[in-house]
Amino acid sequence: MNYHIRKTLSLIVAVGMLFTFGCAGDSSSSETKSGDKKKEYKDEVIIHQLSDPTGLHPHNTSDAGASELKRLLYQHLLDYSNDLSLVPVLAKELPQVEKTPEGGMVFSYEIRPEAKWDDGKPITAKDVEFSFKVVANPKVDAPNLRPTIEFVSDIKIDPNNDRKITFYCDGLNFVWDHITGTDVIIAPKHLYDPEGMSDKYTFAQMKSGDKKVVESAENIKFADHYNNIKFQREKGNINGSGPYKFMGWNTDQNITLERKDNWWGDQLAGTNMYFAKGPKVIKYQTVNDRTGALTALKAGELDLLSAIRPREWVEDLPKSDKIKDNFNLFDPPLFYYSYLGMNIRMPKLRDKNTRKALAHLLDVDQINETLVYGLATRVIGPVHPSLKADYHNGIKKYDFSVAKAKDYLKKAGWEDSDGNGIVDKVIDGKRTDLKLTFNYNQGNDTRKNVGLTLKETAREAGIEIEVIPMEWSVFSEKLKANKVELWYGAWVFDPRPNDPKQLWHSSGYGGGSNYTGFGNAKSDALIESIRTELDPAKRSQYYKQWQELLHEEVPYIFMFTGPNFLAVHNRFEKSSVNVSERNPGYHVLSFNAGKGASPSLN
């Protein structure tokens, strides 16, 4: 099975929460053998998050925290089942593709007849068309999604069936069903565009990029409306077809979702995991340091903590009676990779020999042993090692060597000309010391320690590195604006073939997900070969060429993949806790509170 890097950015913000609790909801209690009552619980689950998501807009947010909440608020045409295969959600059935004589593709989706918005209006092909049209609109703030659907040339609604829509593609794309089925949330047109401002232009016109269309007064007016911050976090302006409704957001405290009464999907219970009846209330509680989150977990203030740090997993949790008595522990594999990123368009990092020097100064194996307790697996590129046909085992990892680093620095023209202990060279007419800034998201001690480790080893080679934390939203925005020099990040995978365009194509630089600035005509052509090759054997060869290119150019220093460490309150029956390789590592709709739900702290 192949796995694709999801559109959504994860610079792996841990999923977890704490502190403000409501008192509403169903509750239950039970008695011990001695007759004493156990703690009373409410029908809710409290999940930790390390920081607030950037927002809950259906199309204009891309971080991992937002993606998790949006899966409960909104829906796609298709989604991934327990075995990571595609299953219909809003769609009535899986689509079938036909190749056209011209070398393109045609396929159709039909919306389930039961599907309705919360106001009772049916979900139709008009909503699907609208959702894809806004993603294609260059004025809409969805640059991470836009490249994924560019292979679609037109969309047409069946004149005889308002629930059926057909996609036309000029070329081939090997993940056509994954992209059209799972990438684009279907939003209610009548609520997000009540005035019909988007009706003037078709999908094909918007996709063409014609300036007369894109820059028209009507389109700018619509985009300004659709990009409005009210669709990010205001109650009443977040509307989806999912099983939960948005109840409120207390900044840096919590976000509350509540299960809908008479939700349209209830009549399809048992169809697949997306029609399960989850807890009445799901609360995402923000605790922006991991030590505080673990303390809250032990105190019973959290029901679920994910991305538990290796040290805590190995040394702390096994010794804690509170954990052993109240929580079940899980360690499913997580399809992700971590990396140290470099903005190669910044003057000091333009030369690949400088980047190779940094790769030799990051002792990845030692970091695994000391900071990750040997629980991670080192990777050489963005293809997951479980994908044996595509993963390039022949690439030799960059080993830790200060001597090799110094050699590469010399090749790049760096030398300590003034004897201050820092190498320098003339850049754009000015002698410049090799001083770099390493950023990481605040509260992530592992990333902080990686930065400090690199700082020490880099000093031996004459490089000065400053390690600076950033609040998550600031960090995310600076990455998107390509204003970060060095950073520690991670990307999570969805269960689909790996499409490299979002992260690595040159078109993704400047507002998209290509934060490094990597890309040229050769690499872009190779990416297009991967995307359009339907033969898995031939595509594997392209994948290996691509990994060789990344290894040579070093936009990332690839680090680890590994398991996701989870703790879930044991009142949720262990068999009902559906853990998964897919981020965030669990499916909360499956949680069955056999002993109740969340602590009632009245």
Summarize pLDDT for 555-579 with one digit per residue, the tens: 999 999 999 999 999 999 998 898 9
Q: Does residue 146 have a pLDDT over 70?
A: yes
The confidence score (pLDDT) of residue 594 equals: 60
The confidence score (pLDDT) of residue 8 equals: 38
The confidence score (pLDDT) of residue 499 equals: 85
* Largest Cα–Cα separation, the chain: 82
Summarize pLDDT for 277-303 with one digit per residue, the tens: 899 999 999 999 899 999 999 999 999
Phi, psi of 200 (to 5 degrees): -65, -30
513 forms beta bridges with none
Q: Does residue 534 have a pLDDT over 80?
A: yes
Structure tokens at 283: 């609360």
The confidence score (pLDDT) of residue 581 equals: 84
Summarize pLDDT for 153-178 with one digit per residue, the tens: 999 999 999 999 999 999 999 999 99
Query: What integer best gives the mean pLDDT of the chain?
Result: 90
Q: Does residue 231 have a pLDDT over 80?
A: yes
The confidence score (pLDDT) of residue 558 equals: 97
In angstroms, the CA 49 to CA 69 distance is 11
Structure tokens at 24: 């509403």
| Chain CA centroid to CA 327, Å | 27
Residue 28 banded pLDDT, cuts 50, 70, 90: very low
Q: Does residue 17 have a pLDDT over 90?
A: no
In angstroms, the CA 62 to CA 39 distance is 39
Residue 36 banded pLDDT, cuts 50, 70, 90: very low
- Distances, alpha carbon 195 to alpha carbons 117, 118, 134, 189, 215, in Å: 18, 19, 15, 10, 19
Which of 11-20, 244-253, 420-429 has the lowest average pLDDT?
A: 11-20
- What residues contact residue 469 under an 8 Å CB cut-off, 6+ apart? 439, 440, 441, 442, 443, 448
HSE on the CB side for 519, CA within 13 Å? 20
In angstroms, the CA 23 to CA 220 distance is 44
Q: Does residue 22 have a pLDDT over 70?
A: no
- Distances, alpha carbon 144 to alpha carbons 71, 185, 233, 525, in Å: 17, 13, 20, 20
HSE on the CB side for 112, CA within 13 Å? 23
In angstroms, the CA 384 to CA 560 distance is 10
Summarize pLDDT for 117-142 with one digit per residue, the tens: 999 999 999 999 999 999 999 999 99
**Helix, strand, coil abundance in the chain, percent, nearest 5:** 35, 20, 45
Residue 416 banded pLDDT, cuts 50, 70, 90: very high
Under a CB-based contact definition with an 8 Å cutoff, are residues 273 and 257 in contact? no
Closest CA to 179 of 490, 534, 494: 494
Residue 38 banded pLDDT, cuts 50, 70, 90: low
Structure tokens at 324: 């052993």
Q: Taking residues 38-67, what's their average pLDDT?
A: 89
HSE on the CB side for 510, CA within 13 Å? 4
Domains, the chain, in order of start with CATH, read 4-30+40-56+242-332+564-599 (3.40.190.10), 75-233 (3.90.76.10), 336-562 (3.10.105.10)
Under a CB-based contact definition with an 8 Å cutoff, are residues 409 and 422 in contact? no
Under a CB-based contact definition with an 8 Å cutoff, are residues 515 and 479 in contact? yes
Under a CB-based contact definition with an 8 Å cutoff, are residues 342 and 516 in contact? yes
Q: Does residue 369 have a pLDDT over 60?
A: yes
Q: Does residue 510 have a pLDDT over 60?
A: yes
The more confident residue out of 278 and 35 is 278
Q: Does residue 188 have a pLDDT over 90?
A: yes
Under a CB-based contact definition with an 8 Å cutoff, are residues 75 and 242 in contact? yes
The confidence score (pLDDT) of residue 5 equals: 40
Q: Taking residues 386-408, what's their average pLDDT?
A: 94
Structure tokens at 315: 């040394």
Structure tokens at 160: 């005889």
334 forms beta bridges with 562
| Chain CA centroid to CA 508, Å | 16
Q: Does residue 27 have a pLDDT over 90?
A: no
